[in-house]
Amino acid sequence: MEIMLPWPPKELSPNARVHWAVKNRAVKLYRDNCAWLTKAAGVRVDWEGTVHAWITFFPPDRRRRDDDNAISAFKSGRDGVAQALGLDDKRFRIHPWLSDEVRKGGAVKVRLSKGIEE
């Protein structure tokens, strides 16, 4: 089960120095957008226990990025996916990958599976 999501807005970067209200609006908008896209993709998790989330980040340009910043910026997107699936996000085991492939506008691919081998 895969979901293609937009690149997190720059306001969500841990390095961004924005007013709390600006960041709060960006968090809500990105979370809601990711939740809507997850529902639209028809993704369902019909098992108990751990949900492995294989997250591939496709940056919008060739600037160097840290994987930990990408994970942090995606936090509200992860919350949106969990919300759409009706899950507590503590069930997720994250497997992040920061790709060298550049995609116009950037993208985040989330693949959900029951186990590591899938």
CATH number (domain holding residue 92): 3.30.1330.70
What the block records as the tokens of 24 is: 């709060």
What's the whole-model pTM score? 0.91
Handedness of CA 71, 88, 76, 43 (dihedral sign): positive
What does the pLDDT look like over 6-23, one tens digit per residue?
A: 999 999 999 999 999 999
Please measure the distance between the N-terminal and C-terminal CA atoms of the chain and give it in whole angstroms. Answer: 10
Number of domains in the chain: 1
Of all helices (H) and strands (E), which one includes residue 100? none
Residue 118 lies in a domain: no
Residue 64 belongs to what domain range? 2-113
Q: Is 63 helix (H, G, I), strand (E, B) or coil?
A: coil
Give me the pLDDT at residue 46, please: 87
Per-state percent for the chain, helix, strand, coil, to nearest 5: 40, 25, 40
Give me the pLDDT at residue 57, please: 97
Give me the pLDDT at residue 117, please: 60
